[in-house]
Every structure is written in C-alpha cells, then in structure tokens.
C-alpha cells in the first residue's frame, strides 16, 4: 500500500491506501506497539473489491506525536478516524480494529453507526461489556496480573520516557514473543515498529494509550446496555495471554448480530496467520 500524510482539523495523520478507489472502503485500525504496517501482510489476501485504508493512530507509526493526555482517550482517537474518513470523502465503510485499534473502532461504530456497514474486532475487550470485563479482570487478578505488567509500567509518570528511549530494539521485540522469534511475524514488520518507536516522543505518546485507561473505563461503564447495531464479527487469536477468552463472555448482550471465530494464534493474529484471518474477513464482508 502507498502512504501519504493527511491534514485534518485534529492533526496530521499518515494513511496507507490500497488505491483501488472503485473498491468498497475497508478501514483497518492497528493497535499498540504497531502501526498501519501491520496490515501489509494480510492485504494481498483480502478481496480485490475492498479498498483497504489504514491510518496510523495518533502517537504511533508516522502520525503526529501530540502530548496532550486527553487525546489518547479512545473516544477522542475515534474522532481522529472520523475526520480522516471524512477527508477521504468516504460515507459508508467496513471497519476492522485490532488491539487498541479495536477499542477505537468500537468508539467509531458507536459514534456513527449508520456509516459502519459491517464491523470486525480482533483481540481486544468489548467496551460495552461490563460483565465480561469484570470476569476477565478477576481471572487476571487471581493470576497476579503478571501478563499486564507493561500496562502498569507505562502508566507511571516519566518512567517509560526514561527507560524506553535508546532501548527500542529490546522493548518492541519483547511483545511479539515466540511468534516474533520464530519468524511467524515478519522480521521486517518488527523492524518497522522499532523504527517508528524511535521517532521522538513515542515512548510518551505510546504510553498515552495506557495512561488514558482510567478515563476510558469511566466512560465504558456508562455503555452497559447499549448494543452494536451493525453485523459484527469477532476474530480471536486464542493463545493470547493478555486478552483472555473471558473478555468475550456475554457477547449477546453487546451486539444485535455477532459471530465469533477463533484462530490458533497469539495476539498479533493478522500477521501470524494472515491468510486464515483474511479468509474469515472475506467471507464476512462478501463483496
């Protein structure tokens, strides 16, 4: 895909675009610590009738490094995406989100449900699902919350800024675990994420996603009882040690129409199993 910078009222954002403007728009939102590059592996397997549009989220990839903490609340990041889609003159679109991009995608779907025609979430909690959140968090707490250590680390004032800078080549590969070491996630992808994390201020802006979690949680509690109205699909990498399966309990209370498929993969499933994940997306979008 080709990349270009787009300037909207909320800032300057890097956007990858497959370029087939006759295709139906498919907006794909990456998570942390990645960039829109994470969709490069899967894009060749996606239906040629889909126009893939993949922005770098604020503070990551090559998008702007705003330092205001409130801008990393997921409802605020969703406003960035809506402005990008508007700037591209796209009215209706399909939407996919992975990790924090999945939380942002959920906020987009709640904000403009009439424009999101179909919706896919991959390996992230469901933000209008207080029961599932509570059940998963109890299990994590009983396990000592060890898999979530990096979230608490990044919430500390000044600590990630002091410790990550200069150590990006250690910090980033750690999160790709065995899948990265064994080459199931492309080496060039991990190198790209290291490069982007070396852009000045990224340890702070990357940490912004976790520093905003308390404000996100307060908002998400208010969403109990709401439902996503569009046809939805959850594609879940079932060997994820952080986003555990219990986060997906009670889906029937959160969606009008949802299906769940599991992939034998770890957290970064779209890179670890691109062809399999693309097959599920193609079947769901059916264009």
Over the stretch 238-269, which tens digit does the pLDDT of each residue have? Answer: 999 999 999 999 999 999 999 999 999 999 99
Answer whether residue 4 shows pLDDT above 90.
yes
Angle between helices 100-111 and 74-87 (to 10 degrees): 70
State percent of the chain over pLDDT 70: 100
- For 286: left if phi > 0, alpha if psi spans -120 to 50, otherwise beta; the answer is left
Answer whether residue 102 shows pLDDT above 90.
yes
State how far the Cα of 29 lies from the Cα of 166, in Å rounded to an integer.
Answer: 27
3-state helix, strand, coil in the chain (%, to 5): 45, 20, 35
Confidence of residue 184 (pLDDT cuts 50, 70, 90): very high
Q: How many domains does the chain have?
A: 1
Answer whether residue 286 shows pLDDT above 90.
yes
Answer whether residue 193 shows pLDDT above 90.
yes
pLDDT of the residue at 239: 97
Confidence of residue 287 (pLDDT cuts 50, 70, 90): confident
pLDDT tens per residue, range 46-85: 999 999 999 999 999 999 999 999 999 999 999 999 999 9
Domain region containing 150: 2-285
Question: Structure tokens of 178?
Answer: 């065995």
- C-alpha to C-alpha distances, 259 to 25, 211, 234, 282, nearest whole angstrom: 21, 32, 6, 14
- State the chain's mean pLDDT as an integer: 97
Residue pair 213/155 in contact by the 8 Å Cβ criterion: yes
Question: Structure tokens of 15?
Answer: 């956007």
In eight-state DSSP terms, residue 222 is: T
pLDDT of the residue at 28: 99
State how far the Cα of 18 lies from the Cα of 246, in Å rounded to an integer.
Answer: 35
CA-closest candidate to residue 276, choices 218, 240, 237, 227: 237
Task: Please tell me whether residue 260 adopts helix, strand or coil conformation.
Answer: strand
What sign for the dihedral angle of Cα 10, 11, 13, 19? positive
pLDDT of the residue at 49: 97
pLDDT of the residue at 108: 98
User: How many Cβ atoms sit within 10 Å of the Cβ of residue 213?
Assistant: 17
State how far the Cα of 149 lies from the Cα of 171, in Å rounded to an integer.
Answer: 13
CATH code of the domain covering residue 116? 3.40.50.1820
Question: Structure tokens of 181?
Answer: 């070491």
State how far the Cα of 33 lies from the Cα of 197, in Å rounded to an integer.
Answer: 8
């Amino acid at each position: 895909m080709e990349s270009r910078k787009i300037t909207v009222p909320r800032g300057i954002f890097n956007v990858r675009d497959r370029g087939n403007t006759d295709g139906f728009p498919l907006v794909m939102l990456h998570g942390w610590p990645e960039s829109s590059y994470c969709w490069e592996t899967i894009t060749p397997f996606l239906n040629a009738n889909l126009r893939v549009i993949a922005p770098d989220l604020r503070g990551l990839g090559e998008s702007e490094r705003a330092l205001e903490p409130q801008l990393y609340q997921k409802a605020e990041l969703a406003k960035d995406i809506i402005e990008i889609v508007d700037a591209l003159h796209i009215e209706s679109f399909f939407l996919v989100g992975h990790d924090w991009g999945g939380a942002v995608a959920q906020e987009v779907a709640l904000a403009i449900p009439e424009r999101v025609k179909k919706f896919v979430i991959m390996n992230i909690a469901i933000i209008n699902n207080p029961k599932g959140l509570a059940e998963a968090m109890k299990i994590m707490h009983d396990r000592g919350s060890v898999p979530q250590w990096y979230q608490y680390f990044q919430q500390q004032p000044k600590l990630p800024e002091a410790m990550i800078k200069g150590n990006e080549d250690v910090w980033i590969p750690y999160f790709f675990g065995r899948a990265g070491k064994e080459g199931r996630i492309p080496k060039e992808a991990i190198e790209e994420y290291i490069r982007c994390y070396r852009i000045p201020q990224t340890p702070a802006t990357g940490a912004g996603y976790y520093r905003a979690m308390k404000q996100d949680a307060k908002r998400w509690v208010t969403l109990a009882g709401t439902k996503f109205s569009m046809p939805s699909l959850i594609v879940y990498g079932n060997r994820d040690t952080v986003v555990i399966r219990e986060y997906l309990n009670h889906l029937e209370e959160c969606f009008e129409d949802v299906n769940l498929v599991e992939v034998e993969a770890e957290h970064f499933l779209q890179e670890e199993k691109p062809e399999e994940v693309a097959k599920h997306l193609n079947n769901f979008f059916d264009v």
